[in-house]
Structure 1
Amino acid sequence: MSKYKCIIFDCDGVLIDSESIAIGVLVDMANDLGANMNFEESLIGLKGKSLNSCMQLIEDKIGKPLPMNFEPDYRINTFEAFRKNIQPIKGITDVLNKLQIPFCVASSGPENKIRLNLDVTGLLPHFEGNIFSCYAIQKWKPEPEVYLWAAETMGFKPHECLVIEDSVSGVKGALAGGFDVFGYTEHDYKNELNPIATKTFSSMDKLLAMLD
């Protein structure tokens, strides 16, 4: 029997394979403004970062403020790309179907983005009513508030919950809130999670066995 009573999943990179799509759109838009960003390097360097911090980096590269319409255009472009290309993380549907304890999603993205991606990948029915967005509380990872909000709403204490994350900021935020956190390392290109997460795993088919 698992010592955990609830699981809090990150969304991007844990439930859905979205980060390469989103970063690709961001790089294309930034390069149209003269940022001269490399996709492979950006995929590593921007992984897990908030959109605000990514936009600040682009501003630093181009030496001027981004156009006022940059963020809304980015949302439109990514939503279109997600609808065409988004896929669930391999093995996650089987995990969700077999879990015997409550679970939810806590993400840095806005709720409409979370819902779109979960809907397109067929995962939304698993999370209806249990979606927690940093935008709702205006607190972003590595601050722990979104996890604390999720745990409290689900009816559990931090020590009763397990967080599943794939980014350094997410792992640090969960640990700061008093949670155990398992780092999903399939796309941990710089091997950053193993030294800081409670445990790590590289494929979803290993997760259920790790809960015992």
Structure 2
Amino acid sequence: MKYKCIIFDCDGVIVDSESISNLTLIEMAKTVGVILTEAFVMNHFLGKSLAFCFQYIQDQSAEKLPDNFEAEFRERTFHAFKTQLQPIPGIHELLDKIEIDFCVASNGPRDKIKLNLTTVKLIDKFEDKIFSAYDINSWKPNPELYLHAAKTMGYAIEECVVIEDSPAGVQAALAGGFAVFGYLNSHNKNEFSKINIPVFEDMKNLDNLLSE
């Protein structure tokens, strides 16, 4: 196999969390007079840091965001994750089959990543291989998170491949010099059609890409 390590994004690649986060963000934006659609959020916020999302809402609002805005967002989403979160179809079977090293690198806080992986019964696969942008204070689309993950895992950039579902994440991987495969969904197909990377729609097909 060409690669020795797979670096997975978490939200939208391992766990189906994007809709939960986006709907919560839309609901909370309404409380400060900002109306967002799910399509807008997916197109403009996917893969970006929470600080970026909050700053956009702040810029559009006539009032200052409450001091507890982020804390409330975290509380609402964490509760929803515990009760509603589902794994991406086929991810369990894929991880059981993979014979090379792998890890997860996410813009989210470490406790969120651990909660999500625990909820979908995958924490045992990643427990000591979790990389959070909050640990290094650098968020995608900057490449530092992926560079940090590869270095810590002990692999050269050319030995790794990144699995992403967001244009911002793809941008981060490419900026770092990584090979990257795009996981297609109904929200990113248009954007990914503009990016010259291999793409796949089913986790069953990732095995084939890895073997090429």
**Could you say which TM-score interval applies, normalised by the shorter chain?**
over 0.9
Deviation at 1:177, TM superposition (A): 0.8
Q: TM-score under structure 1 normalisation?
A: 0.95
Paired position in structure 1 for 2:19 = 20
Q: TM-score under structure 2 normalisation?
A: 0.95
CA contact 2:104–2:126 (8 Å) conserved in 1 = yes
Deviation at 1:190, TM superposition (A): 5.0
Paired position in structure 1 for 2:118 = 119
Distance in 1 (CA, whole Å) between partners of 2:196 and 2:91 is: 20
Gaps of 5+ in 2: none
Distance in 2 (CA, whole Å) between partners of 1:118 and 1:100 is: 20
- Cα distance change of structure 1 residues 108 and 211 upon mapping to structure 2, 3 Å threshold: same
Distance in 2 (CA, whole Å) between partners of 1:153 and 1:189 is: 30
After superposition, give the CA deviation of every residue in 1:133-170 in whole Å (9 maximum; x if it has no partner).
00000001111111111111111000000000011110
Aligned length: 211
CA contact 1:183–1:194 (8 Å) conserved in 2 = no
CA RMSD for the aligned pairs? 1.2
Paired position in structure 2 for 1:37 = 36
- Partner of 1:71, secondary structure, is helix
Paired position in structure 2 for 1:84 = 83
- Partner of 1:211, secondary structure, is helix
Paired position in structure 1 for 2:61 = 62
Deviation at 1:62, TM superposition (A): 1.1
CA contact 1:194–1:200 (8 Å) conserved in 2 = no
Gaps of 5+ in 1: none
CA contact 2:17–2:81 (8 Å) conserved in 1 = yes
Deviation at 1:63, TM superposition (A): 2.7
- Cα distance change of structure 1 residues 111 and 197 upon mapping to structure 2, 3 Å threshold: farther
Distance in 1 (CA, whole Å) between partners of 2:202 and 2:16 is: 13
Does 1:148 find its partner at 2:128?
no
Moved over 6 A (4+): none
